[in-house]
Chain A
């Protein structure tokens, strides 16, 4: 549950999840956005232990909105490393433990 700041509207926002081999099972990650012109999109990916996967949404230029990412881990004690990028720029990369959601503002 964390608000993570702003991302440039119009960028392709990608979520990458790296799940350690020690994880109790596969995890599900998703990304979704909605903007002030009522446009939106979503993508999700299932990632197996010991692998990395990513999903992304293309946001609309010049329109403010909201981006959210979710991670549903197999066990609450599992951890994963999440990286969110906007275009070529990495916004944030952190290791989480247990399910989590992050949100961003499109500006």
Chain B
């Protein structure tokens, strides 16, 4: 115990002596740094104490600035594009022959999107155009990325109509049109961790700048060749090799990659945040979804349901798999008969996807079904069926994409469909 105490005492004295010597050395070096410091712009009246720390920071300022001016503009916080979901739905109307995925997501489009679908089914070929808007972002003047992170995930409205004639049979009524509303009940729980991660990453840039300053201060305090070291640090451009040679120590002077790292880390946070959703899926259709293939099938239908999805092992760089499901109630009232019906409507699918810049390459396959008690009217009411559905969404240049979807009945009497969709979406700003 006594030996232990003595050793501790000696070690303590040694440490104290080293600290005191270091402190004295730092004070001496501050006196050396000060004349250099006060010659720099705006710094004539700065104190001697801490002069080397200030000199280090002022010398590093152009390098540190690269952390926040990666593209020539100041980045105060994450950009709207950083928070835009790559999982936002496209405008292809769910439940119509133009549906692009096996089971569509209820995650809304971030701002606006459009879709033109060429479809083939028993009745022949048709074309459907759809436009989806996110009223929360489109009609507000919000520019704060944190608020946009929530609003861009909250809700969208899709309107669709045939483009080869709204009233091809000249009966004075729309042949087929509809609207969709996707309300993401998990928008807040997706945006909150994303925003927290954004704040954390921006703060980490300040920490990185301070760490660099501390390293350079240490170099200034310890270099045996102070004048040569300062000369190398004030050269234009600064050469890391010359600094290390002149100062006699190593120093990293290229923090510019930190912002690229921030983009990547935000992307990973975004994928994690959007990996799970739950939301409301409302659909209204009017007209004949069979485009004349089934007589008297025209009517009005309303679907109210819930959609859920979960992506496992979400990643910015690797393929991830997941599951999507939906379940709802459908009410249909036919136009040319007195038939009405209440039906259960749902689906379950697997999805595999990979992030491609701002979009996703996505493949999905699964089943959709509809059921009601009216067996004898199942064809006209489009009920009592199970169909296999599959879809492939391929991102093209920028914010456009192409999708191919196919469905075929396994049980029941509905038409198989094949659709080829062109998707376009508006991206949020890459800077504020």
Contact across chains for A3 and B42 when beta carbons are under 8 A apart: yes
* B-side contacts of A30, CB under 8 Å: 76-77
Contact of B61 with A42 in the complex, beta carbons under 8 Å: no
A103 to B41, CA, bound (A): 13
A26, B144: Cα distance in complex, Å: 10
Q: How far is the CA of A4 from the CA of B214 in the complex (A)?
A: 17
Of all chain B residues, the one with the shortest Cβ separation from A76 is B73
CA distance A5 to B50 in the complex (A): 11
A25 to B188, CA, bound (A): 27
* Chain B residues whose CB sits within 8 angstroms of the CB of A105 once the complex forms: 50, 53-54, 57, 213
Q: Among B202-210, B325-333, B377-385, which stretch is in contact with chain A?
A: B202-210
Apart from A1-B65, A1-B69, A42-B199: 14 A-B pairs, beta carbons within 8 A? A5-B42, A5-B45, A28-B77, A32-B206, A33-B206, A34-B209, A36-B214, A40-B203, A46-B143, A66-B210, A68-B209, A70-B68, A101-B65, A103-B61
Query: Which one of A34, A44, A101, A107 contacts B210 once the chains associate, using CB atoms below 8 Å?
Result: A34
- Complexed CA–CA distance, A68 and B73 (Å): 16
Q: Which of A1, A44, A46, A66 is the most central at the interface, judged by chain B CB atoms within 10 Å of its CB?
A: A66
Please tell me if the beta carbons of A38 and B207 are within 8 angstroms of each other in the complex. yes
Does A99 have its Cβ within 8 Å of any Cβ on chain B?
yes
Docked Cα-Cα span, A46 to B141, in Å, equals: 13
* Known A64-B50, A107-B47: A2·B42 in contact at CB below 8 Å: yes
Which single member of A34, A41, A44, A101 contacts B68 (CB below 8 Å)?
A101
- Within the complex, which residue of B54, B74, B214 is in contact with A5, where a contact is CB–CB below 8 Å? B54
CA distance A107 to B73 in the complex (A): 29
Residue B432 at the chain A interface, CB threshold 8 Å: yes
In whole angstroms, what is the CA distance A65 to B212 when docked?
11
Interface check B46, CB cutoff 8 A: yes
Whether the pair B202, A32 counts as a contact (CB closer than 8 A) is yes
- CB of B59 to closest CB in A, whole Å: 9
A78 at interface, CB cutoff 8 A:
no
Do A28 and B432 have beta carbons less than 8 Å apart? yes
Tally chain A residues at the interface, Cβ within 8 Å: 35
Interface size class of B (residues with CB under 8 A): 35 or more
Q: Do A64 and B53 form a contact, CB below 8 Å, given A30-B76, A34-B210, A44-B76?
A: yes
Instruction: Identify which of residues 40-95 in chain A touch chain B, using a CB-to-CB cut-off of 8 Å.
Output: 40-42, 44, 46, 64-66, 68, 70-72
C-alpha gap A5/B45 in the complex (Å): 9
Complex interface: chain A residues within 8 A of B50 (CB): 6, 64, 105, 107
Contact A66 B77 (CB under 8 A): no
Name A residues whose Cβ lies closer than 8 Å to a Cβ of B.
Answer: 1-6, 25-26, 28-30, 32-36, 38, 40-42, 44, 46, 64-66, 68, 70-72, 99-101, 103, 105, 107
A72 adjacent to B209 (CB under 8 Å):
no
**Inter-chain contact A26/B143, CB cutoff 8 Å:** yes
21 A-B contacts, Cβ less than 8 Å apart?
A1-B65, A3-B61, A5-B42, A5-B45, A5-B54, A6-B54, A25-B143, A30-B77, A40-B207, A42-B202, A42-B206, A44-B77, A46-B144, A66-B210, A70-B74, A100-B74, A101-B65, A103-B64, A105-B57, A107-B50, A107-B54
Q: Flag if B203 contacts A101 (CB, 8 Å).
A: no
B36–chain A nearest beta-carbon distance, Å: 13
- In the assembled complex, the Cα of A35 lies from the Cα of B5 at a distance in Å of 34
9 closest A-B pairs by CB: A99-B74, A107-B50, A3-B58, A66-B210, A34-B207, A34-B210, A34-B206, A72-B76, A70-B76
* Contact indicator B206/A6 (Cβ below 8 Å): no
C-alpha gap A104/B54 in the complex (Å): 8
A86 → B minimal CB distance (Å): 14
